[in-house]
Structure formats: structure tokens, C-alpha cells
Structure 1
Amino acid sequence: MAYRFENKVVVVTGGTTGIGLATAKAFADEGASVFITGRRQEALDAAVKAIGGKVTGVRADMSKLADLDRLYDAVQQQHSAIDVVFANAGGGEFAPLGAITEDHYEKTFDTNVKGVLFTVQKALPLLRDGASVVLTASTVSISGTPALSVYSASKAAVRSFARNWILDLKDRGIRVNAVSPGVTDTPGVDDLFGGGTDAENTKAYLAGLIPAGRIGQPSEIARAVLFLSSQEASFVNGVELFVDGGQVQI
């Protein structure tokens, strides 16, 4: 059986849960050697076990440049080049205008913007010519959401990175695309919505606003990332691929 990512080296940041975990597993199932990051060792170990295949976990916080250096040092110990970077690590919290703190702003932008920027920049010496970079943006970057302005702005920056970096990297043939998930059934979304019954009720309400009639699953986002990373998308460059059940298309 032929695998799309046989003998390919893939880096997935934020790979211990949700979309990152599902995508790392999808790459591993397709034959790739996968490196994942996470901030908690216990979660990292559990993710490595769940993914199986050729996977290596590196404990790292993507907002810290020294941790990024350690990630790419770990890759270099085993491989000479990287074929795919999925810059996925990120997060956000609710804070309405008037209650936004400096800490809230810095935490969000350090992870979602600074982290993505330097995840990709520090990968450049290892990225193979013709490689693929996929960034995790979000539907909230183009649709207003109460109390989520800082997170939304950070994801708009991520989408802008893709548009600009394809020009910076055109001579190397490196493609950069963004995937923008809608509401997806992940632990992070549950935490954002307060967990338990509150989270379930919120997800049910939001499902009613989505033309597909439900929220997304991490595996569905993963399939979109693998498409953007593959040769099947060889002429797809700089796009924002919405995987949202049609939510922001109406």
C-alpha cells in the first residue's frame, strides 16, 4: 500500500490534544516520521503512545525561542530535512473590551503570533525546497465574536502570514497555506465554553448555526491539513481553507 507521506518528516506543534493530535496521528498513519510538541510531559507521553508509528515528542512552549531551538535540534539528530511544518500551537480566552489585560494580550499574541512566526522562521534552514507549511488560523478572524477580539486579531495575523510568506519563499518553492477550523469538538473548546453542561449546551447552540447541522471533528480538520501538505495540493498556495461546515460562508 502506498502512503502519501512515506519517508517524509513532519513537525506538528501543539500536538498533544485536539486538532494537533488528530493531525499528527493522520500523518503517522500515512507513513511520516512525526515530531510533536506539548508543554506538559504527561500529556506529551500520552500523545506519543496514542499516535503510534514513527513519532517523537519534544516538550516545548512555542512562545519560547530556546524551546524552538531544542525542537529543531531534536529533528536534526534524526533527519537532515523537514518536509512539512504544521504550526498549530495556539489558544485563547474570552475577555471583552474594557476587561482586556496586558497579560491576556501578551499570552495570546506570544503563542498565536510570535510562536507561529518563529516556528516557521527557525524551521527554514531545515525545510526542504518544495516543502509545505500549514498554519492554523480560525473562522473568527473574519467574523465578529463577543469577548474574543484579541484571539480573533491574532488569528487574522496568522492568515496574513500565509499571504506574505509565499512571496518570501517563492524562490524555494515552499508553499504556505492556512487552515481555518470552525467550532470543533476538542478539549480546548470545552474549556473555553466552561466545560461540562455549559460546554455541551454552547456546542449544541452553535451547531444550530452551522449549515452542516453539527460542529466539526478534529479528524476532519486533520484531513484538510494533510491535503494542503500533500502533492495533491501542489498548486494551492497562500489560501485560507475554511473547514467549518459552512458557518462563515453564509
Structure 2
Amino acid sequence: MSSLQGKVAVVTGGSSGIGLATARLFVKHGARVVITGRRQDTLDAALAEIGDGAMAIQGDVADLAHHDDVARIVRQAFGGADIYVANAGVNTITPAHEVTVAEFDQQFGINTRGTFFGVQKITPLLRYGASVVVVGSLASERVLAGHAVYAGTKAALGAFARSWAVELSGRGIRVNMLSPGPTDTAIIEKLGVPEAELEGFIAGMSAAIPLGRLGAPDELARAALFLASDESSFVTGINLRVDGGMALL
């Protein structure tokens, strides 16, 4: 069994979906976990669900000052960190010719800039042998309707992760990408699909996945646990697709 006993983990976007499932699993395996999120009420609800072993920091990853706050609080509370999961992200399904500047800036601000500077600020606190897990997306490799901007934000993360894997190797820090396929989280309801069409939208996505269904947050969390733990001690610079085989088609 993978063990994170005594480890300190930071999970951005840890108040819902894949991030919450990951934080919950990390605590179950012995880690002390810091979750971040934009809304205090959802953070409070997440902490109640996770139980002992977690704390929360409210803020927006698109705000660079937030990453300074996270680094400062983690240093004060724990002296350093062993795991950083860059999970926070947003997606808006919009055909490329209809994308607004606001939509573009929001997705790149949260998904791309937020991840880059989050890793930059936490890196000095990462202990020897730490693990960084960057949450990407199947969309960065497979063309999905209305995902041009989102795909671009996640493709950039792959380039970041490969560079970091080399740059940080001298400190024994491993950096890997976790790329989910369609996953049954609240983000599905926030994609802009009309409620009357949501059931058909989900059915269509499921039909495009060889395993015939969406992923579950806990399935992605178990993959994150593998990349975060010593079970993957000789793994760095990879892109682990957890997509039910969707990338094959």
C-alpha cells in the first residue's frame, strides 16, 4: 500500500472534484494536506469531509500574491512540503471563433499562469525527493469540440512539467503530468452546456470512451497517489493518461 505518512501535501483546487478526492485520499494515507480554493464556504465543506489532517487557504491561483501566501503559510506551519498537486483549473466550451478575450484570459490565467507560478513559489520549500503532480487533460492531445483554448492551456502545462522534471532532478524532485479524460465532477455542469442537453452531452462523451463511461474522481485520486508516493520513485517526466482509453480513438 502506498504510504504518505509524515508527508506534507499541497493540493490546489482541493475543495471539489478531483482535487477534493485527492486530498481526502492523501490524508487517508497519512499525509497532512493543505487545500486551496477560491470560495471559503466550499473550503469549509471540504475540510469537514476530509476530517483531521487538513487545512485550507482561500485564494485565486490567478492572483500571484496568493502563491506567496501559500508558500508563507506552508513554511510557517510545516517548514516545507513533500508533494504539490497543481490541480486548480477551469474550462469553458466555446467554438474558437466565439472565444472572448475574457474567456481566453481567465483560462490561461488560472490553468497556465496559476500553475507556473504556483510551482515556482513552492519549489524552494520542496524537500529532497518531493513530488510535483501537474494535472493536465486529454484535451491537450485530442481535438475536442469547443476546447481550443482549454487545450492550449493544458498543452503548455506539459511543456512546463517536462522542463521542471529536468531542472529539479538535482534535488531528487520528480515532476509528472496526470491527464484525466472526462470525469464525473461538478465541472461538467459548469461547461456551459444547457441543462436540457446535459444528459445527452454526457452520453455522447461516454460513447467516445472505450470503457463506456466517465471517470470517477476517486480513480484520478488513486493515480495521483501513485505519482505522489514512493511507489513511483523512478518515474519522472511522464504524462499518465487516466482516460478510459479515450486517447486511443
Q: TM-score, normalised by structure 1?
A: 0.96
Deviation string for 1:151-171 (max 9, x for gaps)?
Answer: 001000011111111111111
Structure 2: distance between partners of 1:200 and 1:17 = 21
Q: Superposition RMSD on alpha carbons, in Å?
A: 1.3
Which residues of 2 match residues 99-110 of structure 1 at below 5 A? 99-110=98-109
Structure 2: distance between partners of 1:52 and 1:197 = 36
How far apart are residue 73 of structure 1 and its match? 1.6
More helix by share: 2
Q: Aligned partner of 1:99: which letter?
A: E
Q: TM-score, normalised by structure 2?
A: 0.97
8 Å CA contact retained: 1:183, 1:244: yes
Structure 2: distance between partners of 1:6 and 1:97 = 45
8 Å CA contact retained: 1:141, 1:155: yes
Q: Aligned partner of 1:235: which letter?
A: F
SS at structure 1 position matched to 2:182: coil
Residue 177 (structure 1) aligns with = 176
How far apart are residue 95 of structure 1 and its match? 2.0
Structure 2: distance between partners of 1:196 and 1:224 = 31
Structure 2: distance between partners of 1:3 and 1:140 = 29
8 Å CA contact retained: 1:193, 1:199: no
How far apart are residue 53 of structure 1 and its match? 2.2
8 Å CA contact retained: 1:37, 1:58: yes
Residue 40 (structure 2) aligns with = 41
- Structure 1: 5+ residue stretches without partners: none
SS at structure 2 position matched to 1:121: helix
* 1:229 to 2:228 alignment: yes
8 Å CA contact retained: 1:227, 1:233: yes
* 1:199 to 2:198 alignment: yes
Structure 1: distance between partners of 2:69 and 2:169 = 27
How far apart are residue 101 of structure 1 and its match? 1.6
* 1:188 to 2:171 alignment: no
SS at structure 1 position matched to 2:142: coil
Q: Aligned partner of 1:98: which letter?
A: H
Residue 216 (structure 1) aligns with = 215
Structure 1: distance between partners of 2:196 and 2:11 = 31
Residue 248 (structure 1) aligns with = 247
8 Å CA contact retained: 2:35, 2:56: yes
How far apart are residue 30 of structure 1 and its match? 0.7
Structure 1: distance between partners of 2:2 and 2:165 = 27
SS at structure 1 position matched to 2:240: strand
Structure 2: distance between partners of 1:15 and 1:200 = 26
Structure 1 range deviating more: 21-30 or 96-105 = 96-105
Q: Aligned partner of 1:10: which letter?
A: A
8 Å CA contact retained: 1:3, 1:31: no
How far apart are residue 8 of structure 1 and its match? 0.4
Residue 50 (structure 1) aligns with = 49
Structure 1: distance between partners of 2:206 and 2:127 = 40
Q: Aligned partner of 2:239: which letter?
A: E
Structure 2: distance between partners of 1:67 and 1:49 = 23
Which residues of 2 match residues 1-250 of structure 1 at below 5 A? 4-192=3-191, 194=193, 196-250=195-249
Structure 1: distance between partners of 2:100 and 2:17 = 27
Structure 2: distance between partners of 1:221 and 1:126 = 26
How far apart are residue 193 of structure 1 and its match? 5.2
- Structure 2: 5+ residue stretches without partners: none
